[in-house]
Amino acid sequence: MAKILIVEDNALNIKLFCDLLAAHGHQPEAVTDSRNALDAAREFSPDLVITDIQLPHVSGLELIRLIRNDEQLGQVPIMAVTAYSTSEDEERIRAAGAQAYVSKPISVVRFAETVDELLAGKDEPALSDAPSSPRT
């Protein structure tokens, strides 16, 4: 079981991610407002952070940088989940400090595999595969 913080402004995605993670035996906690994400992460002390990129207020890229530069959270693996899908977008996300990238609409298999890899300490090797879930 791992503690996983989800930062996502879309309620349907929050439910999907939380259900998936709980089904895999993890303990998910969701933050809807990215302005609260850093404080929530400090308090929750997650084993993994999953963040949307397109967020109002504090963008996912900004949040990734904030987490990377945080004394307590700097080493926590980060998985970005985003509708952005070009290799340039992926480069920006990785440059900000995320280890993995899964594109929306997510493939639930890919999502779960990437979570497992990050929790096991492995970086995701390549851009995610073709999506299979409905776009929300």
Interface with Mn ion (CB under 5 A): 9, 52, 54
- Residues with Cβ within 8 Å of residue 103, at least 6 apart in sequence: 81, 82, 83, 84, 85, 127, 128, 131
Please answer whether residues 90 and 127 qualify as being in contact, where contact means their C-beta atoms are separated by less than 8 angstroms. Answer: yes
Of 27 and 32, the one with the shorter C-beta distance to Mn ion is 32
How far apart are CB 44 and Mn ion at their closest, in Å? 20
Closest separation in Å from C-beta 19 to Mn ion = 18
Spatial distance between the Cα atoms of 121 and 110, rounded to a whole number of angstroms? 16
Beta carbon nearer to Mn ion, 27 or 54: 54
| Residue closer to Mn ion (CB basis): 52 or 89 | 52
Write down the least CB distance from residue 105 to Mn ion, Å: 13
- Judge whether 131 and 14 are in contact, CB under 8 Å: no
Give 53 or 71: the residue with its C-beta nearer to Mn ion: 53
- Provide the minimum distance between the beta carbon of 16 and Mn ion in the complex, in angstroms, as a whole number: 13
Crossing angle, helix 60-68 and helix 87-96, to 10 degrees? 30
